[in-house]
Structure 1
Amino acid sequence: MSILEKLKTRRKPTYKMPPGGTDAHCHVFGPGAVFPYAPNRRYTPEDAPKEHLRALHDHLGIDRAVIVQASCHGIDNAAMLDCIASDPKRYRGVAIVNDGFTDKDFDTLGAGGVRGVRFNFVKHLGGAPDMAVFNRVMDRIKGRGWHVVLHVDAPDIVPLSDMIRKLPVPFVIDHMGRVPGKDGVDQPPLKALLELHKLDGAWVKVCGSERISMPPYAEAIPIARRIVDNRPDRVLWGTDFPHPNATHEADEADLVDLVPKIAPDSALQRKLLVDNPAVLYGF
């Protein structure tokens, strides 16, 4: 059943998004017949094209979004760029690239609304990238005002910390570093994440509650609260729609309704949902 069919029966969130509210982490998949998936992909998702994403955001009351290139499309960013082009004021993007991209390629991505690049370090997506390639890409983007999005597993936060501290560009850590909700707020990976979060140029996304806990996501709330309180001007929120490689089917209305639990007052909510993504992505 497609998201369009599901939205006919799904509830709307209780929490009302502020004007300019931003989903800073979501994806478009395909359609595969138009935007083929990468031959070396680790998973093949169900199609979730731009029309599905827009319908979901309209249902949730979300005005803006950052389309994060997913590994199933590899370095072919066409589906993401097509989504941005459908409403350039509403969308921005984060690309997946390699060191074969030329300055002209980066110029094209920037003109298309891309403001950063993403690298996966998570094991189920193949583990750490070729660090020589990674470093060459960092050199290529550091003069563009872009950032790098790091998708990491919790056990790798400490081992990767030295590398992250030396990055020549701002960085964003996805999904609260995937720290397990069941391990609570005193776990070493979260403490390391919070230390990295204090660095100049550091951002953390308090999305992925459905990745680190199960409904009603009570175990994720204290972790997200700790991150928001740690540096409220450097946090972002997102749905992670359509939840690739999920352990269960998440209802995005439930994720929206977590916002006032992790950012309890309207000033914090505005920072998380409106002001912070506007700073980083130029909305």
Structure 2
Amino acid sequence: MSTFTADADWLHWHQSPSRPEFRVPDGAVDAHCHVFGPGEEFPFAPQRKYTPCDASKQQLWQLRDFLGFSRNVIVQATCHGADNRALVDALQHAGDMARGVATVTRDVSDAELEALHAAGVRGVRFNFVKRLVDALPFDDLEVIAHKIKPLGWHIVIYFEAQELAGLYDFFTRLPTTVVVDHMGRPDVSKPVDGPEFGLFLKLMAEHDNFWTKVSCPERLSLDGPAQQYLDVVPFARTIVERFSDRVLWGTDWPHPNMKSHMPDDGKLVDMIPLIAPTQALQHKLLVDNPMRLYWAD
């Protein structure tokens, strides 16, 4: 049993998801998911903002197979800080069927980066959501970006839509491919053709080193699961249709910090044809793009 106790308001990931009606194409990649612990084997970081329930690599593989996916991109969870041991362990056990996005500090050595690369890491993540970090990582990001560029890695950034205007110039100076988590968390109560989402579309249109994940409708929706998160669809579909070569999709399992409800991963898969309505778009979203970004070598 883990020596860590999950936060009292932590919602356990869905233990009996529905089987999707939508069949993903062969070779599909879940390009955004996590592993938590198990805490007894891979302790959570002392400075963490939350303590989750365990979500092991074996449980992730079971979900992958159940949903019909072939591969995973595992993103380092903030509850583990810059201790990437749980991530590396999962990657090593997955063989060539998983890649990773790590968290590193500015003093990371070239040897440490090479070891992460050998394990399957292809990017680093930086969190600009103010409620989840003690300080925004401007200086660290600039230093690390130049360290990882020779490896061909990319940067993953997580921010909220209302913050983009103040971050825009900094982000567009980054020297690598940049992947934006969850469409930059648009406010779906605002119009899809309004200025706030328009700034994100401008970022994507004018900077072809930017990619984005059209993921996490359960975090963005105001309507919720009863309405199948349909208020998120116009935003995600706009991005998929305009930038079909630079979009990714993932479950976000085991759905960190969900407070209102825990999504059914099978129902999330069934949203894919709503945001990528043709087989060609679905194949780019789920196979071509993640393979090009994470398995190019």
Q: TM-score range by the shorter chain?
A: over 0.9
Judged with a 3 Å threshold, the aligned counterparts in structure 2 of structure 1 residues 211 and 235 are, in CA distance, closer, same or farther, namely same
* Distance (whole Å) between structure 2 residues aligned to residue 6 and residue 229 of structure 1: 33
* Distance (whole Å) between structure 1 residues aligned to residue 29 and residue 137 of structure 2: 32
Paired position in structure 2 for 1:201: 209
RMSD (CA atoms): 1.4
User: For each residue in 1:117-164, what CA deviation from the matched residue of structure 2 results, as whole angstroms up to 9, or x when unmatched?
Assistant: 000000221265332211110111111111000000111112111111
**Identity value in percent:** 47
* TM-score, structure 2 normalization: 0.91
* Distance (whole Å) between structure 1 residues aligned to residue 271 and residue 23 of structure 2: 11
Paired position in structure 1 for 2:229: 217
Paired position in structure 2 for 1:253: 266
Paired position in structure 1 for 2:6: none
Q: How many residues get paired?
A: 280
SS of the residue corresponding to residue 150 of structure 1 reads: strand
Unaligned runs of 5+ in 1: none
How many Å apart are 1:273 and its aligned residue? 0.1
* Distance (whole Å) between structure 1 residues aligned to residue 189 and residue 122 of structure 2: 34
User: For each residue in 1:39-61, what CA deviation from the matched residue of structure 2 results, as whole angstroms up to 9, or x when unmatched?
Assistant: 00001111001011111111111
* 1:278 and 2:291 matched: yes
Answer whether contact 1:184 1:222 (CA < 8 A) is retained.
no
Higher-RCO chain (CA-CA 8 Å, sequence separation at least 6): 2
* 1:12 and 2:25 matched: no
Judged with a 3 Å threshold, the aligned counterparts in structure 2 of structure 1 residues 21 and 235 are, in CA distance, closer, same or farther, namely same
* Distance (whole Å) between structure 1 residues aligned to residue 243 and residue 18 of structure 2: 32
Paired position in structure 1 for 2:8: none
Answer whether contact 1:122 1:128 (CA < 8 A) is retained.
no
* TM-score, structure 1 normalization: 0.95
SS of the residue corresponding to residue 279 of structure 1 reads: helix
Judged with a 3 Å threshold, the aligned counterparts in structure 2 of structure 1 residues 222 and 87 are, in CA distance, closer, same or farther, namely same
* 1:103 and 2:110 matched: yes
User: For each residue in 1:185-233, what CA deviation from the matched residue of structure 2 results, as whole angstroms up to 9, or x when unmatched?
Assistant: 0233311111111212110100011110021110110000011112100
* Distance (whole Å) between structure 2 residues aligned to residue 25 and residue 172 of structure 1: 11
Paired position in structure 2 for 1:233: 245
Match of 2:191 among 184, 189, 193: 184
* Distance (whole Å) between structure 2 residues aligned to residue 191 and residue 128 of structure 1: 27
* Distance (whole Å) between structure 2 residues aligned to residue 211 and residue 262 of structure 1: 16
1:205 maps to a residue whose letter is: K
